[in-house]
A and B are shown apart, each in its own frame.
Chain A
Amino acid sequence: MYEGVVQNLIDELGMLPGVGPKSAQRIAFHLLAADPADVNRLAHALLEVKEKVRFCRVCGNVAAEEECRICRDARRDEHVICVVEESKDVVAIEKTREFRGRYHVLGGAISPIEGVGPDDLRIRELMTRLADGQVTELILATDPNLEGEATATYLARLVKPMGLKVTRLASGLPVGGDLEYADEVTLGRAFEGRRLLDV
């Protein structure tokens, strides 16, 4: 244990995802030794992100304004929506340059054991977007793991009566992992070869 303020910092850092007690201590001492101007910039960036960044009211992606950059871009195809679990999946798919439609960020995947059901995700918002019949294809790009597959199954069944084309990323995507870790080439190919989901 360290003196009050240092221990506070270690405790706060330790609450970040992927940062264990040892890493927290290492980061804390790095900051203590760092140039005050550098630390200032970091602190400013932290505050700014909470102040300025919010979630797009249309798709749920992170946004600097009411709507995100993609939803505001008139050149993006509004007839195709790609459904992903997290904002970082949008980033991964954008890198492939294979997709020119819009997104919908669910905020996670259905996992009954973790207490996450359909009502805990942005599924109602998705149904609202689909209600006017403008969208003709829904691409289900949830993670290629158990929860992601189950979420895709649930969504495919839910939108079935709407009669739109529902596709899932090609099975060439390695299973069991997180979408964000797929390399651009594989992910791009998975987009090209997406298959029709029939439930």
Chain B
Amino acid sequence: MSLYRDEGVVLRTQKLGEADRIVTILTKRTGKVRGVAKGVRRTTSRFGARLEPFTHVDLQLHTGRTLDVITQAETLRPYGEGLAADYPRYTAGSAMLETADRLTMGEKEPALRQFLLLIGGLRTLVEQEHEARLVLDAYFLRSLAVAGYAPALESCARCSAPAVRAFAIVAGGMVCGTCRPAGAAVPSAETIVLMTALLRGDWPTADASEARYRTECSGLVAAYLQWHLEHGIRSLRHVERV
């Protein structure tokens, strides 16, 4: 059995047996790891809240036959504490974790950019400087981009000609008049400006946007995300707007 160390964000936990949990962690160097935390559900556990979803932890693991075993965990930042006290942010954060889990398909395949994006997204969410739903949509767009699914927003997703005001999920974003399929959405120009700002991380533009364009943008981003992830994101149904 070999021992290794890494840092990561706890994505989800599942009960195992009497008092253990299987903890899924997106780590910086190793990629996604599933490890067993023994006795973690007992209130006397030395792990305490360190292996709860959202926690950024420093870990030591033993390589196991099927699952690795978590032997040590130290909190680097407990993002969950702030999120559990703010329901809309908790639901937005949950959708981020689920998306990170879904976009990193294989276990132990390094996914450094997804890890950094998730850490950045959680930090922004906890800092409360921007509306939760904007932070979530920005995270969705950028994590899709890292996975190779960035929506085309300026030129046609199919032929690269200048796009008209038509967003076709199946085509991969905005399309030109020729490529435009039947049933393409016709978003406001302001909505596309907002989506572009979120994808680039231009917060002044995003923060200045009006509520109706945020709603329209969220709808398109959610539909786009759900289409790219085979089974959809379960948490999305429970995300609350303030």
Contact = CB atoms under 8 A, between A and B. Distances in A.
Interface of A: 17-18, 20, 110-115, 117-118, 144-146, 149-150, 153-154, 157, 173-178, 181-183, 186
Contacts of B90: 112, 150, 153
A149 B45 contact: no
A157 B90 CA distance: 14
Contacts of A112: 90-91, 94-95, 98, 234-235, 237-239
Interface residues of B, number: 37
A173 B49 CA distance: 11
Contacts of B12: 113
B31 interface: no
Interface stretch (B51-59, B108-116, B168-176): B51-59
Given A113-B12, A146-B52, A181 B43 contact: yes
Interface in B17-64: 17-19, 40-45, 47-54
A154 B45 CA distance: 27
16 contacts: A113-B94, A113-B234, A145-B52, A146-B49, A146-B80, A150-B83, A153-B84, A174-B44, A174-B48, A175-B49, A176-B40, A176-B47, A176-B50, A177-B44, A178-B43, A181-B41
B237 A177 contact: no
Contacts of B48: 174-176
A146 B234 contact: no
Given A111-B94, A117-B238, A186-B43, 10 more contacts: A20-B17, A113-B235, A149-B84, A150-B84, A153-B87, A174-B43, A176-B48, A176-B50, A177-B41, A178-B41
Nearest to A175: B49
Contacts of A18: 17-18
B45 A177 contact: yes
B207 to A, nearest CB: 24
A75 B144 CA distance: 59
Given A149-B84, A181-B19, A115 B42 contact: no
A18 B15 CA distance: 9
Contacts of B95: 112
B86 interface: yes
A85 to B, nearest CB: 13
A177 B84 CA distance: 15
B97 interface: yes
Contacts of B239: 112
Say whether chain A's binding surface is mostly helix, strand, loop, or mixed: loop
A96 B138 CA distance: 48
B85 interface: yes
Most buried by B among A113, A149, A174, A175: A113
Contacts of B43: 144, 173-174, 176-178, 181-183, 186
Contacts of B50: 176
B235 to A, nearest CB: 4
A146 B53 contact: yes
Contacts of B51: 176
Contacts of B97: 113
Contacts of B54: 146
Contact of B42 (A173, A175, A177): A177
A182 B51 CA distance: 18
A182 B19 CA distance: 12
B42 A181 contact: yes
Nearest to A178: B41
Interface string B224-239: 0000000000110111
B85 A149 contact: yes
A183 B43 CA distance: 8
Given A20-B17, A112-B234, A174-B43, A153 B49 contact: no
Contacts of A175: 48-49
Interface string B109-137: 00000000000000000000000000000
